[in-house]
Amino acid sequence: MSKLIYMAAFGSMLGASAIGCGASSAEEQTRALTYQQSSDEAAKRGQYGTAGEDQQKAQDAHHRAVDKAIDEGKAIPPQTKFGDAPPPRPATP
């Protein structure tokens, strides 16, 4: 039984790492800004636990964006902060 649990955990880790590797630095920074906005909104509603979780996700996404920007040879994106809004999504045809 524990072997099955370990195999499932390992499989989910591989899947998560494969998903995260395909994004560009700009996409990761957009994720960071989206989490920052979600954190800001949760804090305004007094949901500080959710706000803290989303703030951590924003910091993690920004860290990935910085790493990818360095790998891509692009400028390092600025750290997210309160009040930052994600860029508008392009209109789908």
Check residue 61 and give its pLDDT. 96
Cβ distance 68 to 25 under 8 Å? yes
- Per residue in 2-54, pLDDT (tens digit) is 565 555 655 555 454 444 567 899 999 999 999 999 999 999 999 999 999 99
Q: Which residue has the higher pLDDT, 14 or 65?
A: 65
Supply angle C-alpha 74, 79, 80, rounded to 5.
125
Tell me the two tokens of residue 43: 């804090």
Check residue 85 and give its pLDDT. 81
Q: Answer yes or no: is pLDDT of 59 > 80.
A: yes
pTM over 0.75: no
Is 44 strand, coil or helix?
helix
